[in-house]
A and B are shown apart, each in its own frame.
Chain A
Amino acid sequence: MTVRSLATAPPLGRAATPSPWRRFWRRNGAGYAMLSPWLIGFFGLTIGPALISLYLSFTNFDLLQAPNWIGGANYVRMFTADAKFLQSLRVTFFFVLFSVPLKLIFALAIALLLNRGIKGLPLYRAVFYLPSLLGASVAVAVLWRELFAGDGLVNRLLALVGIVGPSWISNPRYSLWTLILLSVWQFGSPMIIFLAGLRQIPRDVYEAAAIDGAGRTRLFWSITLPLLTPVVFFNAVIQTIDAFKSFTPAFIISGGTGNPINSTLFYTLYLYQEAFGFFRMGYASALAWILLIIIAVFTGISFLSSRYWVHYDE
């Protein structure tokens, strides 16, 4: 409130030409005053820490003693002498590679079904959206742990039809798949974005194509999908970044270990173990920067490739 009155009131008893600092303040004071909480946060919580983290990634640091510069040794160790790091990369890429496309396919399929003027749309939409709203919680991860345990609900259901299921979460062949399934189960929010995108496609395009004799399949491949590519692109980028950062389900389901035999050792879980289990803060910082690079490279490739497959309105 006082910012502007200060800035506009003529300085009492001062010379007619104000100092440049004063002039700057008069023009920009209100803006910077209102921006100040964010600026403090930006330097103190974002850029400052990010740069310090970059520095720490070249050091050995255990919180107790001052960081000790070791050059690129953390990065060298990662790629040459750390099987667990490579395993966590494999697990994370596998998770991203399967969970994201499956989730998007489900989201699109259900959105297409719902977009045909179906009765009860709001109810269906709410039902499909609910898991995506609740799914990131610890409660649902806890539930998943029971569902896919050896004597869990899934196996009891399978037993009804005479199948003896394995203990899904403690078998390294299936454990990661239970996490992929948990992620796919949360297809609700991309579905809502697809629905909004489908509604943007003008009806007359379909009518024109139908008059020209295009069938349902043809309509989908030649009209719906091309016109929806910006939405597909958006969903794919958002979901992929999110999948790279996924932490809670793997932590809860494996009890923080990433087991059985590191089959659910997500990258973020490994980073957490290094930082807060072993207090190798320098090494964990290097892991964080590699994660940033992976996400940046992935996003860059997506944007570059989008030129060839995403149709934007002229």
Chain B
Amino acid sequence: MTSDALTGPDHHAIQARKLARRRVLSIVSHVVLIAASIGMLYPLLWMLSAAFRPENEIFSATSLLPSSVSLDAFLRGWKGLQVSFATFFANSFVISILSVIGNLGACSITAYAFARLQFAGRRFWFALMLGTLMLPYQVTLIPQYVMFLHLGWVNTFLPLVVPKFLAADSFFIFLMVQFFRGIPRELDEAALIDGCSRFQIYWRIMLPLSVPVLVTAGIFTFIFTWDDFFAPLIYLNDMQQYTVTLGLRTFVDSSAESDWGGLFAMSSLSLVPIFLIFLFFQRLLIEGIATSGMKR
């Protein structure tokens, strides 16, 4: 980079040529990146604009700007099925929030035990926990279904929520163990000498110091649960219990051919919570992916 400082009288010319080349390269990069960005976002923006378009325009339009803006599609879509989307959104929120609470509580206390407590068999259980990271859910699916069926839990939110309170997603345990290990041990030892119980150390010292990892785990749990389609598909049969994802699927299968506008309006609306998380927690999302390989 700096070697050309020694190249003699015409190094100014070389420097200038180099600068010009760098500028051209930079412009080319931006052109490529902007074109790619437009290509990437076009479908999403098009869906959003289709939601606001007059119905007769959806099947002819390629531009992103509707000729006139109307909220008709939202009103039609909201009441497009026998049960209103208000119910689906409420259900999705209840399931997602409960899942976040369960996952954070159960995974953090498990992670605390693995990261800090000494007990017989700790390494053994930890290894087993890591082993289940790779297990595809299909392997446990059918016996779980049979069990929930016998418990009378099918067609309730319990099969979707209870596993979260039992720390069934070991990925988040692993994530938190990694974080807890980075907290200085002196803190818990001092608290132990002051007479704190193990639970108090977990509750008063570890959790307040772990806000970043808890927020990261919380937003990813929310997104995964909000988006989840498979578990609701299997466990929820009554439309009153449907989540937004199931509502959309029913919409596609029943009336999509006649009401694309309503469908796109509801699809766009279903993405709003995730988009808001993206706006407010982008840094945490990106760090979460870069440091732990979170799937999305």
Binding site for B on A (CB under 8 A): 1-5, 24, 27-28, 30-32, 34-35, 37-42, 44-50, 52-53, 56, 63, 110, 113-114, 116, 118-120, 124-140, 142-147, 151, 153, 156-157, 160, 185-186, 189, 192-193, 195-196, 207, 210-211, 234, 238, 241-242, 244-245, 247-248, 251-252, 255, 268, 271-272, 275-276, 281, 284-285, 287-289, 291-292, 295-296, 299
Contacts and interface: CB of A to CB of B under 8 A. Distances in A.
Interface of B: 1, 3, 26, 29-30, 32-33, 36-37, 40-41, 43-44, 46-47, 59-60, 62, 106, 109-110, 112-114, 117-122, 125, 128-129, 132, 134-147, 149, 163, 165-168, 173, 197-200, 202, 223, 227, 229-230, 233-234, 244-245, 248-249, 252-253, 256, 260, 263-264, 267-268, 270-271, 274-275, 278, 282, 285-286, 289-291, 293-296
Contact of B252 (A44, A56, A119, A252): A252
Contact of A125 (B165, B286, B294): B286
B274 A133 contact: yes
Contact of A53 (B142, B200, B248, B268): B142
A214 to B, nearest CB: 12
* Most chain A beta-carbon contacts within 10 A, residue among B128, B267, B289: B289
A207 B29 contact: no
B29 A118 contact: yes
Majority DSSP secondary structure for residues of A touching B: helix
A41 B146 contact: no
A100 B47 CA distance: 26
Contact of B230 (A139, A157, A247, A285): A247
B197 A4 contact: yes
A39 B82 CA distance: 42
B237 to A, nearest CB: 11
A1 B290 CA distance: 36
Contacts of A138: 227, 229, 244-245, 248-249, 267, 270
Given A4-B198, A133-B223, A143 B146 contact: no
A287 B141 CA distance: 12
Contacts of A28: 119-121
Nearest to B166: A41
A49 B46 contact: no
24 contacts: A4-B197, A30-B119, A31-B117, A37-B106, A37-B109, A46-B140, A52-B143, A113-B29, A126-B282, A130-B44, A130-B278, A131-B40, A135-B296, A138-B227, A138-B248, A189-B289, A189-B294, A247-B229, A247-B230, A248-B229, A252-B229, A271-B138, A288-B142, A291-B136
